Structure formats: structure tokens, C-alpha cells
Chains A and B, each alone.
Chain A
Amino acid sequence: MKVVLMLALRSLYNRRLTAIMTVISISVSVALLLGVEKIRTEAKSSFSSTISGTDLIVGARSGSVQLLLYSVFRIGNATNNISWQSYQEIASQPKVEWTIPMVLGDSHRGYRVLGTTADYFKHYRYGRKHTLAFRDGQPFEALHDVVLGAEVAKQLNYQLGQKVVISHGTGTTSFSKHEDQPFTVVGILEPTGTPLDRTLHVSLAAIEAIHIDWQSGSYIPGSGGTTPVSERKLEPKQITAILVGLKSKMSTFQLQRSINNYRKEALQAILPGVALQELWSMLGIVESTLLIISGFVVATGLFGMLTALLTSLNERRREMAILRAVGARPWQVCLLLVLETGGLTLSGILLSLIFLYGGLAISIPFIENHFGLFLELSLPGLYELKLLSLVFITGLLCGLLPGYGAYRYSLADGMTVRL
């Protein structure tokens, strides 16, 4: 056995260039498998960390996924609004620690405008309880202040102090603009990797203010009365959704039930974590596609190794014959080849780990900055180890094929000089 191992190593050393290439091709494919697996799990956790720390989301009664989509992901629209009165009744519940009212419906060059309160910047959490941080400026204070998400500022190249006009409705090319009341950029947020980056934030009062002169869906100057904006009590009559934080998680389901059974308005409260999971399970097909693709990549790598070995076997007939001539038994020749593939696969796997973690360590800051995807440099989990051992065993088994070939060659086979 020891001798066979020795021989395998020596023989490999003799063919080091092909051996190294085989190892590299295996390691690249395995690194890809692990990388895809990593991104798959991390994208899932990043997706589910779009919102964290919020116990309930309240909106009009519809579907939990729909409510999640329009309130958190800014996709689609609400079926109904919530009356300001119901909002206040929920906010004043003793179990409630904080609430964030949200008004959606206006936009700026295709980006959604969110009307909310300054509490949004204080209580909204994403990822592993990250708070919102300002890259520049501060939360809105004056009526016509706007805080931009990172992507909005970057794509439209906006700076602090710049004037921004908000469009009525949510189309990318809206013709009805709130041009009478331009906003001033007072803050730009750090990138979060969430839909928040693509949002403009203004105060609830501002949303009210820009709609003063809007009557039955169209802008009629002066129709809202002549009282100056600064002297009005700007309180919304209806809002789109509410984020709720509770004092104790114990009361989550109680409050959810009482909101869902609320008699005066058809409201719905959802658990964001549960709704995110529901949504992700709908996207499950994408997840399994990624996995299948990376599985094929590994299969390709192993086939490459098999091809290289089978090709080299032809050239190594003489080597095998000499081994047999000096007294090696057929099974020892076979073992030699299995050990060789095993060794190649193992070093490929080890190299792939170096590739993966080296690559991750270098690219994590870049990925975080550009895609907002927060990867964690963690040791391979049980699932990854299972995948790796599966690759290793398949590699070993691959050795059996050329091994069997070598086993069958007669002693004379390699000795005869063919003309």
C-alpha cells in the first residue's frame, strides 16, 4: 500500500503539468459550486434581512405577500389605504413601542417617494439589526426636505442642497408634477442593499402639503384654499402601511389577531419574517436552478479529470507494463490509479477552498459596497462538507474506470512494440 502510494506520487510528479492542470480545473469547478451555494444562502439571508426588528406590518386586508411587496419592496400597489384614525388607535396600544406610518404613491423619475416620520430613521432595521446611517446630511426637518436613498443619489447624481421635484403617481414619465413645491435634498443615506436605496423619503406633512391643490385627481391651483402651507395643520387622512415594533414579542400574535379582527376597518397585520419566507418559497425554483447549475459545473470538472486520466493511460501503458513486470499485481495497478484520482480530487478540493476564501476575503468589501449583499466569511457548514465529500467520493470512483482498464491490460500489452 505504502509503495503504491509512493509510486502514485512519483508518477504524478512525473506528469506534474497535466496533474496541476487537472487539480486546477477541479478546484475551479468546486470553488464555483461552493461559491454558488454561498451566494444562494447569503442572497436568501440578505433577502430576508431587507427588514428586521419590525414585529408587524399593518396594511389594508389583502395578501400577506402583497402587503410585504408594496410596503417593504416598493413593488405593486396597495389595494386600500388605512385611515389615520385607525393608525392612531394602533399606535396608542400599550403593547406598541413604536410605529412608522408610511405613505406611498408619488415618485421621482421612476423612484418611489415615501412619506414617513423621522422615526423611520430611528427604528428601521435591516440585515443583522443594522440601523440606517447617513452618508451625508441628516433626517428631514423642514416641510420641503427630502432624504435620498444611496442609489437615487448615485444614479441621478444628486448632491445636498439640490432641488428635486416630485411627480404625482408612480410612472417613470409622469406628466403631472408637483412643480409648485420643490424639495431640497438634506440627507443621503448609506447603501443598504435593500429597496430603501431606491427610495426618496419625505415627511408625512410634505405629502399632504403637495396634494393641497389637488382635487379629484388633478391639479387646480388655489383649489385647496389660500391658507399658506406653513399655517396649515398638515395631517394625513390616510396612509398606506404601518411598521410596528412591540415592547415584548409575546404580544405579537395577540396584536396581530386584534388587528385582523378589527371591526371598523378591514386591516391586516403580517409578520414580516413569515411573509418573507412565503415569498422566498415562491422564488424557490430560482434557488434550485442555481444549485442544479453548480452541480453540473462540478460534473464537468470531474469529467475533465476522467478524460485527462484516460488519455494519459494510453501513454502510460509502458509504465503499467513495467510495474507488472517487476511484480505488481493487477489490483495494485488499479489501486495506483484510484489513489491518483483521489489525490487529485482532494488537492483540487483543498485548492478550491483556498480559492473561495481568498476570493471572498478580497471581494467582500467590494460586493458589500456595490451590491449591498452582506457576505459572511464563515467556515463551510455541514451541507458544504457533505457536498465536498460527495465530490471526493465521485473523484475516487472516477479512478476505477481507468483503473479497471489498467487491470485488464495483459503484461505483454505494453511491452510489445507496435509498428
Chain B
Amino acid sequence: MKLLSGVLLALVAPVVVAEGIERQFESHEHGKAVMTVVLEGKALQIEINSPAANIVGFEHAPADKQQKDALISVIGQLKKPEQLFVFPDGSACLADLAEVQTTMMDDHETDHDHEASHDHETGHQADSGHDGDNHSDFQLSYQFHCGSPALLKGFSVELFEYYPQMKQLQVQLIGPSGQSYQQLDEDNRWINF
């Protein structure tokens, strides 16, 4: 009986999957990126989801050495959160985690390198990266520990400095005063809690 139900399950399972929505894509607009910020207690969590074009300028898997180098140097840079975010003096925010994921990295060599340098699991977020001409995204996750969060009235985002293709960040924010929405651009880089 158990065997039979196992067989039945195996038969049923693919049907269930097929019934689900399998063709769905997140929006992807060059120049814009989505950022989420949560401050709870002393923990600050920042996530950014951006089309790869905003950051490296291309979205296909790196084709030549030059592009590969560019990608590697960008990833190196994105792993230095202290350069990307500037916190007010005294708030004592220190990075706990800096994680970079991209759907561009079809190359297993670089992928492994990435994993080795970080303990966190990296993987292909979506299937899209496998197809040559598809869109690619970067997913950046940062976590900070802030010694005195009371002094953290806000902070500035310096991504526009390094990535001129990045025109606008749409920020969803959860802070001590609740949820809010802000838009950042080159001239307005300050996130207000």
C-alpha cells in the first residue's frame, strides 16, 4: 500500500507543478533598482535587486577576458559595503555580511571562486541566467550591526558614485517609525528613517 501511494504521489506530483504558474518574471527596468532596508533593534539589513546593466553595463555571461575581469572587479567592489553606504558618526554600524549574487555567472569557475571567498550559499536565483540573451540581475544582501542605532537617523547610499548607469533606487523601508517608501537618485542619496 505504501509503495502504491508512493507511486501515486510520483504520478501526481508533476501534475501539481504543471498546474502552477511557471511563467512569471519580475520587472526589469534598466536604470532603476529596488532596495529594501530593515532596521530592527541593532540589526540593519539592506538588500538591493538591480538589473546587471546598471552595474556592469552588460547582461550576458562575460564573453571575453575583459568582461570577465570587469565582472570580477565589480563583485569585489560590491563586497565592500563600507564604501557603498555611509553611516552617521557614532552610529557604529559594522558590516556582518556582504553577499553578492548574480544570474550572469554561468561560468562555474568564477562561481566557485565566489563561494570559496564566502561561506554563504550562492546559486542561480532564477533560470533566466542560463539562456544567453536573457536579462540578468544582481542581488546584493548586506547586514550590519549598529552599536547605537538611536544615532542612525539615516544613511547615504553611494552606489550612484560607482555605477553611473544606476539612475534611481526605489527604497522600501522598515524603520522604528514604520514602513515607508523613498526614491533615491544621484542628487538625493540620503535614506531617512
Contact = CB atoms under 8 A, between A and B. Distances in A.
Looking at chain B's contact residues, the main secondary structure is strand
A263 B38 contact: no
B178 A52 contact: yes
A248 B40 contact: yes
A278 B16 CA distance: 36
B162 interface: no
B14 interface: no
Contacts of A274: 172, 179-181
Interface stretch (A72-80, A265-273, A350-358): A265-273
B20 A250 contact: no
Contacts of A250: 38, 40, 43, 45
Nearest to B36: A253
Interface string A247-277: 0111011000000010111100001111001
A62 to B, nearest CB: 14
A250 B38 CA distance: 6
Interface string A129-163: 00000000000000000000000000000000000
A266 B22 CA distance: 10
Interface in B29-52: 36, 38, 40, 43, 45, 47
Interface in A17-73: 52
A274 B178 CA distance: 9
Nearest to A48: B178
Contacts of A273: 174, 178-181
Contact of B20 (A52, A263, A278): A263
Interface of A: 52, 248-250, 252-253, 261, 263-266, 271-274, 277-278
Interface of B: 16-17, 19-22, 24, 26, 36, 38, 40, 43, 45, 47, 172, 174, 178-181
Given A250-B38, A273-B180, A278-B181, 12 more contacts: A52-B178, A248-B40, A249-B38, A250-B40, A250-B43, A250-B45, A253-B47, A261-B26, A271-B179, A273-B174, A274-B179, A274-B180
30 contacts: A52-B178, A248-B40, A249-B38, A249-B40, A250-B45, A252-B38, A252-B174, A253-B38, A253-B172, A261-B26, A263-B17, A263-B20, A263-B21, A264-B16, A264-B19, A265-B21, A266-B21, A266-B24, A271-B179, A272-B179, A273-B178, A273-B179, A273-B180, A273-B181, A274-B179, A274-B180, A274-B181, A277-B180, A277-B181, A278-B181
